[in-house]
Structure 1
């Protein structure tokens, strides 16, 4: 007997931005004090990590609108997804590691162009019009490719961003010491044992460049966590059920499982580090992270400043 589609929460209630906005504004006030007297300080940069399917897009939209329209702070939202490797570079990466299933497609640390992200963040400090990279996930039959630079929009010349929200599912992940990663790989796991230890170690090594950049760049961090990260399987199933109803096509149950399995190893390895605090051990960053925990219905169950 076919399993019926799970019920879909079609109306996402935004109970997160009322918690996020006061936190971000308080950090901006501290930032202003630190940069008092500077004529054009660089934008205040907020990192945002939300487990996939939690309603991150809805939240980011609400945050940007509130900061811009109500607080008078021109706000730019950028996704780390727009910094994926070009199609050609992704193919070359996959060919260089043909037996590593973690890098055959975009997604995992190591499949982004960190020099491009570095240059973009550096350019924003000039408060001059800055090209914003764009990525087309539909290109090459869904494999994706970066759009040509000639098509990238520019930040405003008359109203440069005062706040940048940099969002992405792996923002805030910190690389593990090799011995810690090995220890986790040897424990009971949902997905880690699907991969060789050396393949996970390769991704972990690539992650160091992400953290080196972001640890010195982010001024605040928001983590939308789940009571149980395995909720992402059900949330993705709901999204695909909606696609089947609305468009007549969408991934089935087994396809969803394989899709989520592809990125779930990173949750197993790095979520606890984000929960402890991405600025752990970074002097002067106490109180700069907001953690919001949601239940299966995506509703907030608790929040805390770390």
Structure 2
């Protein structure tokens, strides 16, 4: 336990997290990693001849802490559990700015803004998943939010050889498509004023159904960081933007509070839908309060 504590303290220092995160990690996330380690070992016993890694999907709305959790899990799997792991963020698979411009011109203007299903390169995701499943060396894309565009290939993440565990995190990763009837009524002013005929939300929903859901079959286990409500997203997103500003300075793509209010409307429909539905599919559920404290955890054995 002393070694584990020191490793978590190192991660806290590296990520500039509050010291209280140590207790959170030990109480909630060590049991999570222990359980996944056990699942991975059992999975390996049934797939002796296969290099296929154990895939973990992590869902959480903006600012819920999914990236921090993914990083911690990967760090502990590498340094404490003796596994080779890699983290993939759904954000890193956004289409380039030029590709989204083309979508905006040919499908709907709202697709210029990154975020929703339909603005990610799911073919690239599929190729990356297949390479990881086959144990191949590969490069994983990186998206630079400060310039709202994909980073050059020289900055992509290099993965050499087979890995034991793949962690995939994203705000809508694991979310299932809505029934078409649910799309009829706008959920906010963005949909009412900029998507009055429902073209954008229908495109997003169809992309979720046809492009994203088939990739879910790679996942061996799902983790859900469940926010108390969509109302928490604004405060959490503001915190994210402040961190980004500290990291990159006064870049032109750092959003103001007013811009954040508009931006989160792009996410509202599927975030609310996810909060109501994902726990039916998730294996590990962590319920959060408005301060992102975990108030309860649940495990659904499958």
Q: Which bin holds the TM-score, normalised by the shorter protein?
A: 0.7 to 0.9
1:192 Cα deviation after fit: 5.1
Q: Is the 8 A contact 2:117 2:208 kept in 1?
A: yes
Tell me how far apart the structure 2 counterparts of residues 243 and 90 of structure 1 sit (CA, whole Å): 22
- 1:180 is displaced (CA, Å) by 3.7
1:67 aligned residue: 77
Q: RMSD of the alignment, in Å? A: 2.7
In 1, the alpha carbon distance for the partners of 2:132 and 2:62 equals 28
The separation in 2 between residues aligned to 1:42 and 1:108, in whole angstroms, is 29
Q: Deviations over 1:3-46 (max 9, x none)?
A: xxxxxx972625242342123223213312332x32x4301100
Q: Among 141, 145, 170, which residue is 2:150 paired with?
A: 145
4+ residue segments displaced more than 6 Å: 242-246
Deviation at 1:170, TM superposition (A): 1.3
Give 5+ residue unaligned stretches, structure 1: 1-8, 279-288
Structure with bigger RCO (C-alpha 8 Å, 6+ apart): 1
* 1:56-76 deviations in Å (ceiling 9; x for gaps): 222112111111111111000
More helix by share: 2
CA drift of 1:200 comes to 1.0
* Conservation of the 8 A alpha-carbon contact between 1:225 and 1:292: yes
Give the superposition deviation at 1:190. 7.7
Residue 116 of structure 2: aligned partner: 108
Matches within 5 A, 1:2-151: 11=18, 13=21, 15=24, 16-35=28-47, 37-38=48-49, 40-98=50-108, 100-101=109-110, 103-138=111-146, 142-148=147-153
CA contact (8 A) 1:176 1:204 kept: yes
SS in 2 for 1:131: strand
Match of 2:266 among 262, 265, 289: 262
Q: Is the 8 A contact 1:48 1:171 kept in 2?
A: yes
1:4 maps to what in 2? none
> Within 2, Cα distance between the matches of 1:218 and 1:74?
17
Contact 2:60–2:226 (Cα < 8 Å) also in 1: yes
Q: Name the SS of the counterpart of 2:264 in structure 1.
A: helix
Query: Taking structure 2 as the reference length, what is the TM-score of the superposition?
Result: 0.80
Aligned residue pairs, count: 275
The answer as to whether partners of 1:46 and 1:219 remain within 8 angstroms in 2 is yes
Is the Cα–Cα contact under 8 Å of residues 229 and 272 in structure 2 kept in the other structure? no
Q: Which residue of 2 aligns with 1:286?
A: none
Provide TM-score, normalisation by structure 1. Answer: 0.79
Q: 1:13 to 1:190 in 2, by over 3 A?
A: farther
Contact in 2 for aligned 1:47/1:167 (Cα 8 Å): yes
Tell me how far apart the structure 1 counterparts of residues 158 and 201 of structure 2 sit (CA, whole Å).
Answer: 37
CA shift, 1:227, in A, is 1.5
